[in-house]
Amino acid sequence: MLQLTQKLNNGEMQVQEVPAPQLGKGMVLVKNHYSLISAGTESSTVKAARKNLIGKAKERPQQVKQVIDTLIQQGPVQTYRAVSKKLEAYSTLGYSSAGEIIEVGEGVTEFSRGDWVACAGVGYAVHAEIIAVPINLVVKLNNKASLKNAAYNTLGAIAMQGVRQADLRLGETCAVIGLGLLGHLTCLMLKASGLRVIGIDVNSSAVESARSHCTDLALNRNSKGIEDQIHQFTDGIGVDSVIIAAGTESLDPINFAGVIARKKGKVVILGVVPTGFERYPHWYRKELELKMSCSYGPGRYDNNYEEKGIDYPVAYVRWTEKRNMLAFQQLIYSGTINIDYLTTHEIDFNEAPDAYDMILNNSEPYMGIILKYDIEKKQRLFQKISTNKPSPIGKVNIAFIGAGSYAQGNLLPNIPKNKQVTRKGILTNTGVTSKRVAERFGFDYCTSDEKDILQNDEVNTVFIATRHDSHAEYVLKSLKNNKNVFVEKPLCISPDELSQITDQYNGKQHLLVGFNRRFSPLSVELKKKMGKGPMSMNYRINAGKLPNDSWLQDMELGGGRIIGEVCHFIDYLTWMNGSLPIGIFANALPDAENNNDTLSIQLTFANGSIGVVSYYANGPKTLPKEYIEVFNSGSAGILNNFKELKIFGKKKFKKKLFNQDKGQAKMVDEFICSIKNGTPSPISFEEIISVSKASFAVLESLKTGALVKI
């Protein structure tokens, strides 16, 4: 299929062939008929991409700070990889479209193949021939609806949420500042609600269009006597509400809203404007109320709603983002509002880059720009695209399932380049990521069909770097197809999955979980210096706070931080003392979200060793993340953030690295060498299973308050 992409490093934009997106649970595949270019939002993205590095840095000061923090914590190598990954990736554009459902995912009952639908969502309703969208970002249309008009879906819902936030009554007056596409849609809805509408903009053509179609009074912001005209129009009262739909860095919209609003009036921020208003005289004396309108409405940015499809009860949340979209579509279909005039340009999808050039160069007047797709073209849901000349078969022939930030920064760069190791296929959730990763790291092909990897006889080794909830599924499928498996931690997120993997594994394949810290050069040195026998160990992790709505915190998607990350540190102590954990006792600091991500875990091991994992989410960012202490036979070792090692006692030793090294390169190398040479996997299956059981035991101990024996 074809998709519009751009590179952040140089702004290069093209319509290119990529695999179709993956159809996940609770999603539908849609063949786009039309998609809308949101000129305001998307042009900002494109402008930023076309700037030089200094310009990009000025646009994104927060991201620059993150780069500096990464440089301090991890060193220049990891920082360079992280930045390169962002700059060289293909990014998507678009977030509003309409078309026809061609496939439904697991658990979807409200939609069927052939349904006409309107879609929304950044990363979902993109400019592409085929898109995959969660059900709560899709609304069903009448089969006589105009799909071209339905493609305004997202902006319509955004405008409607702004109107709802204004909370106006029949006969009241609302001023809309900013008469772009969003402003016009807002005015149309206000008029349809029986309200008196004033439109204001600095662009004369936008004002004239609003005067003709959607306002009772349309004014140029720079016109003389504008305040008096509004004063007279409102019978000296002032407007009941102001909706700011402009996009600007100027403070004029927020301050002008204060001027024209009546006492006790409301000001709603719908567009992207600064809010540092002048307190005196208007905002303070009028006791104005400032409200933010959050995108499409309730449900936005809630993973449970958007990704899992869990709806809010209508009795308690009358208007969600999906209900806003549906209401907007009903307004269009019934003829209550007419948006035909908004579409000033209808452009073939293949010529999409020209549309963005027109926007950026402002070469001609425009309002709504619709991309039209070739709906007669036959689309293939499963597609394999060659990105390099086929490489000869070696001893280790690798394919990746999943290739996000971690894989691109820590796994893929460390795949050896030699005749014995070949790079075959890439499969990710989105075709643009699959293709870019395949091109960047020299893989033969990218694909949208897992059979091209799991049932390909040329592939004997599969790297799994997907989201945690799919790890076990792909491990089981890979083992069933006799593939060697590397899976990024955790191995699985439930005891039942662990049992299935244990039953499936026959000992013939190499299986490795990405417990990289034991491969760190300073870790190896520490273990060598500390010797064998019972030892005591402390592992402190300054993990930092993770947002409660992160998928990592979700037990169904990420397994929570204990299963998803603490397994790392249990493995490390297991490796360090040379025996398996036999007992777990855990205590967590109470937290309102019940995430249990500030906790202390006491471990006992088969050889008598003891260890403590102190995993803290309540520390400062300025403190290094990881600190390890090991005590044994009169000696002690301290490893600070995998950059500095000190040994005290009989075997004094000190070593410091310029770059942090957590062992990813060595881990990948040893795994591949073990396959190539026919030697045992770097981590035994027994250790992998034992560490997984210990991670589950932490949850059990927190629940029961008792010691859990393994």
* 616 and 684 assigned to the same domain: yes
Domain presence at residue 287: yes
Domain presence at residue 89: yes
Order of strands across the sheet with 173-177? 217-220, 196-201, 173-177, 239-244, 261-269, 289-292
Question: Which residues lie closer than 8 Å to 650 by C-beta, 6 or more apart?
Answer: 634, 635
* 526 and 667 assigned to the same domain: yes
Residue 63 is classified by DSSP as H
CA distance 618 to 283: 38
* 340 and 240 assigned to the same domain: no
CA distance 655 to 673: 28
Specify the number of domains making up the chain: 4
CA distance 398 to 125: 32
Three-state DSSP at 134 gives strand
Tally Cβ neighbours within 10 Å of residue 87: 14
Paired sense of beta strands 196-201 and 217-220, if any = parallel
Domain presence at residue 273: yes
Nearest to 339 by CA among 552, 500, 187: 187
CA distance 582 to 709: 6
* 108 and 210 assigned to the same domain: no
Domain presence at residue 406: yes
Tally Cβ neighbours within 10 Å of residue 504: 15
Contact (CB, 8 A) for 418 and 447: no
Three-state DSSP at 239 gives strand
Domain presence at residue 379: no
Length of the chain: 710
Q: What are 397's two structure tokens?
A: 């022939």
Q: What is the pTM of this model?
A: 0.89
Paired sense of beta strands 138-140 and 90-92, if any = unpaired
| Domain final position from 234, 266, 292 | 292
Paired sense of beta strands 610-616 and 599-605, if any = antiparallel
Residue 562 is classified by DSSP as I
* 342 and 393 assigned to the same domain: no
CA distance 654 to 117: 64
C-alpha separations of 149 from 34, 86, 98, 153, 154 in Å: 9, 34, 9, 8, 11
| Domain final position from 511, 528, 562 | 511
Q: What are 463's two structure tokens?
A: 């790297």
The pLDDT score that the predictor gives to residue 458 is 96
How does pLDDT run across 118-157, given as a tens digit for each residue? Answer: 999 999 999 999 999 999 999 999 999 999 999 999 999 9
Nearest to 495 by CA among 472, 474, 478, 511: 472
What CATH number should be reported for the domain holding residue 507?
Answer: 3.40.50.720
Q: What are 103's two structure tokens?
A: 């496939």
| Domain final position from 469, 487, 511 | 511
Contact (CB, 8 A) for 468 and 564: yes
Domain presence at residue 378: no
What CATH number should be reported for the domain holding residue 70?
Answer: 3.90.180.10
* 531 and 557 assigned to the same domain: yes
CA distance 323 to 625: 44
Q: Write out the residue range of the structural domain in which residue 663 sits.
A: 516-709
* 552 and 695 assigned to the same domain: yes
* 334 and 414 assigned to the same domain: no
Tally Cβ neighbours within 10 Å of residue 89: 20
Three-state DSSP at 31 gives strand
Nearest to 493 by CA among 400, 561, 402: 561
How does pLDDT run across 214-249, given as a tens digit for each residue? Answer: 999 999 999 999 999 999 999 999 999 999 999 999
Full 3-state SS string of 374-418: CCCCCCCCCCEEECCCCCCCCCEEEEEECCCHHHHHHHHHHCCCE
Contact (CB, 8 A) for 697 and 584: yes
Question: Which residues lie closer than 8 Å to 706 by C-beta, 6 or more apart?
Answer: 585
Contact (CB, 8 A) for 607 and 533: yes
Contact (CB, 8 A) for 382 and 449: yes
Domain presence at residue 542: yes
* 533 and 613 assigned to the same domain: yes
Q: Is the backbone peptide bond immediately before 281 cis, with ω within 30 degrees of 0? A: yes
- Alpha-carbon torsion 353, 357, 362, 365, what sign? negative
Paired sense of beta strands 644-648 and 635-640, if any = antiparallel
The pLDDT score that the predictor gives to residue 56 is 47
Residues (pLDDT < 70) of the chain are: 43-89
The pLDDT score that the predictor gives to residue 307 is 92
* 147 and 160 assigned to the same domain: no
The pLDDT score that the predictor gives to residue 604 is 98
Paired sense of beta strands 396-401 and 384-386, if any = unpaired
* 469 and 579 assigned to the same domain: no
Three-state DSSP at 449 gives coil
Residues β-bridged to residue 364: none
C-alpha separations of 95 from 34, 36, 151, 353 in Å: 11, 8, 10, 16
Q: What are 135's two structure tokens?
A: 């059900």
What CATH number should be reported for the domain holding residue 524?
Answer: 3.30.360.10
* 275 and 412 assigned to the same domain: no
Domain presence at residue 297: no
- 642 phi/psi in degrees, rounded to 5: 60, 25
